Amino acid sequence: MSDIQSHFQQQLTTCPDIKRWVIGLSGGMDSVVLLHLAVQALPTDQLRVLHINHQLQGEADQWQQFCEQLCQELGVAIESHRVAIEPGGSIERAARDARYKVFEASLQAEECLLLAQHRDDQAETLLYRLLRGAGVKGLAAMPRRRSLGKGLILRPLLNCSREQLQDWALSNKYRWVEDPSNQDDRYDRNFLRLHILPKLAERWPGFGGRWAQAAEHLAEADRLLNELAQIDLQQCQVPLNGLNCDQLMALSEARRHNLLRYWIYDSAAVVPGRDWLQRISSEVIGAKVDAVPELVLGKVSLRRFRGQLFLVKDFDSLDWQYRPLQDGNLVLPQGILTVVAGEAEGLKSLENVVIRNRHDGDRCRPSGRGGSRSVKKLFQEQDVPPWLRDSWPICVVGEEIVAVPGICICEGWQSEKKATGFALKWQPFALSETGDSATL
C-alpha cells in the first residue's frame, strides 16, 4: 500500500459514524485520484459521486460525459447537476456558491462529502486571503473537516502535494480532463498559482508544507477565539438571540469585536471586517436613545431595540390569509407556530379559529387582565421588536380576537377544564438564515 493510500484510509477513520461517502468529481486530476482511492478503499455500495456542470466552458458537457463514463467503468453511482452561474461579480465565487448549494442539498445524514483539495491549494488559499486582508478565521484557510447541511465535508488529501498526486495518477495511468480556464491568469487564484507560488517554491522549497502548518496554527487560534466568544455570549445574550448592548460595550474592544464576529458568522455566515465592527459600535449601539438605528450588512441588517442588538433578515412579508388554526407545528420561513393539545391552560377550542395578520387599531381582552388592551400595547409590554409585529399571528373567530400566540388567550376563550386546552406559541426567526458562502 502506498503512502497516499494509507494516508487516505487514515483520514477516513476520523469520521467513524459515516455510512455513505460522496465524492465531488470535476474530472480533473485531483478529483480523479480521489475517486480511485475511494473505490480502492471502500465498497462501491457505500459510494456515490456528484458532478457539477457549471456550463462555463464549451467542453463542460464533454467533461460531464467523461465523469459519467468513468463512474460506469468503476461501478459507482453518479449524479450530474447542471447549475446556472449568475452574471456579474466574481465568476469563481459564483461557481463555488452554486456548487456548494448542490452539495448541501444533496448531502444526507451520516454522509460525508470527500473533496480533493491538496496542500498546494491550501497554500494558495492562505496567500489569496492574506492579500484580501483576512483575519484569523480566513487565514486558517480550508478546514480539513466541517459540517455541511445534514452531513460532513472531509478533505483527506490536504496534506498531499499536487506533485505527489500527479505522480500517483501517472504511475497508475489514470485519465482525466484539463480545464483550459486554469491557465487564464485574469483570475486571481490562477495568477497566484501560475506566477507567484512557483517563484516562492524556487526561493523557499517546501514552503507549502510550512504554510499548511501555519494554517493549522491559525485554525487552532480561531477555535480558541470561538471558545472565548461563547463565554462572552453567555453573559450578553438575550431572548431572540439578541445581545445586551450595555454588557457588550463593557467588554474590551478586542473581546467585543471577537464576540460580534462570532455571533454574526454563527447566525448569518457573514464575516464582518474591522470597519463594520466599529460602525456597529458607533452607528447602532451608540446611536441616540430615541433612534431606531439599522446597519445593512450584506443580506442582513443589525438593529437596536430597547438596549438590545439584533441581527435581522428581511424575509418576504408573511400573509396568514385567514389560515385555519390546527394542532401541531407549522414551520414557515418567518418562524414556527406551535399548537399543543392537552395543556392545563390554553385556548379552549380550535373550531372556527383562523389566523390573520394584525390590523391597525386591533384590540382584545386578555384573560385575567380586566378589560381590553390594544395589540400594539401588548407587543410593547412583551418587548416584541417592531420588525416582528407585522408577521405575528392573530387568532380570530369571525372578527373577534381570541388569542395572540405566545402573548395571551382572550377572555371567554381560555380552557375551563384542566388538560383540555391548546397551548399556542409563535417563535419568530429574528435571525438571518445560516448560509454557506463565507467559508470553503
Going by C-alpha positions, the residue among 28, 34, 30 that lies closest to residue 59 is: 28
Asked if pLDDT for residue 433 goes beyond 50, the answer is: no
pLDDT score, position 434: 36
pLDDT score, position 94: 87
pLDDT band, very low/low/confident/very high, at 77 (cuts 50, 70, 90): very high
pLDDT score, position 430: 57
Overall average pLDDT of the 334-363 stretch? 90
Full set of structural domains in the chain with CATH: 3-205 (3.40.50.620), 216-313 (1.20.59.20), 323-428 (no CATH)
pLDDT score, position 124: 92
Asked if pLDDT for residue 440 goes beyond 50, the answer is: no
Highest mean pLDDT among 111-115, 148-152, 424-428: 111-115
pLDDT score, position 435: 35
Going by C-alpha positions, the residue among 249, 228, 398, 394 that lies closest to residue 309 is: 249
Give the Cα separation of 207 and 215 in Å (integer): 12
Kindly report the pTM of this predicted structure.
0.74
User: Where do runs of H (alpha helix) occur along 204-304?
Assistant: 207-236, 245-250, 253-268, 274-279
Highest mean pLDDT among 263-267, 271-275, 280-284: 280-284
Asked if pLDDT for residue 431 goes beyond 50, the answer is: no
Phi, psi of 25, rounded to the nearest 5 degrees:
-115, 115
194-201 LR contacts (CB < 8 Å, sep 24+): 196/127, 197/120, 197/123, 197/124, 197/127
**Which tens digit of pLDDT belongs to each residue from 238-253?**
887 889 999 999 999 9
Taken in order 269, 275, 281, 287, the sign of the CA dihedral is negative
Give the Cα separation of 430 and 315 in Å (integer): 10
Asked if pLDDT for residue 235 goes beyond 90, the answer is: yes
Highest mean pLDDT among 31-35, 325-329, 427-431: 31-35
Asked if pLDDT for residue 432 goes beyond 90, the answer is: no
**Which tens digit of pLDDT belongs to each residue from 154-205?**
999 999 999 999 999 999 999 999 988 888 888 888 999 999 999 999 999 9
pLDDT band, very low/low/confident/very high, at 436 (cuts 50, 70, 90): very low
pLDDT band, very low/low/confident/very high, at 322 (cuts 50, 70, 90): very high
Overall average pLDDT of the 28-53 stretch? 96
Considering the chain, what is the average pLDDT of its residues? Answer: 90
pLDDT score, position 279: 93
How remote is the C-alpha of 56 from its chain's centroid? 26
Overall average pLDDT of the 80-105 stretch? 86
Phi, psi of 330, rounded to the nearest 5 degrees:
-115, 110
pLDDT score, position 387: 86
pLDDT score, position 1: 59
Cα separations in angstroms, 69 against 6, 63, 83, 351:
27, 10, 20, 59
Overall average pLDDT of the 385-409 stretch? 92
Rg of the chain in Å (alpha carbons): 27
The lowest-confidence range among 123-137, 309-323, 328-342, 404-418 is 309-323
Overall average pLDDT of the 5-20 stretch? 94
